[in-house]
Amino acid sequence: MEMAVGLLLGLAAVGAGIGNGLVVGRTIEGMARQPEMRGMLQTQMFIGLGLVEALPIIAVAFGLILFGRL
């Protein structure tokens, strides 16, 4: 069961890392194309990062629930 929890947390971290990289990369690309949209793009980026980071937080909660049942 400990391996399942570790796998759950590891995959959540990898998924969040990939998601964060995509969101930030596309935001920088958008800012390079249209610098005048920087404020709006940056706001949307932070919202997107918050949504992407929800996955590992949920995974930690599930991991603690699973680990507590051992």
Q: Which fold has domain 1-67?
A: F1FO ATP Synthase (1.20.20)
Q: What is the pLDDT of residues 4-41, one digit of tens each?
A: 888 888 999 999 999 999 999 999 999 999 999 999 99
Cα dist. 34→27, 29, 39, 45 in Å?
10, 9, 11, 15
Report pLDDT for 28: 96
Which amino acid, residue 55? L
Report pLDDT for 44: 96
Residue 15's Cβ-count burial label (10 Å; 0-12, 13-18, 19+) is: middle
Domain ranges of the chain: 1-67
pTM of the full structure: 0.80
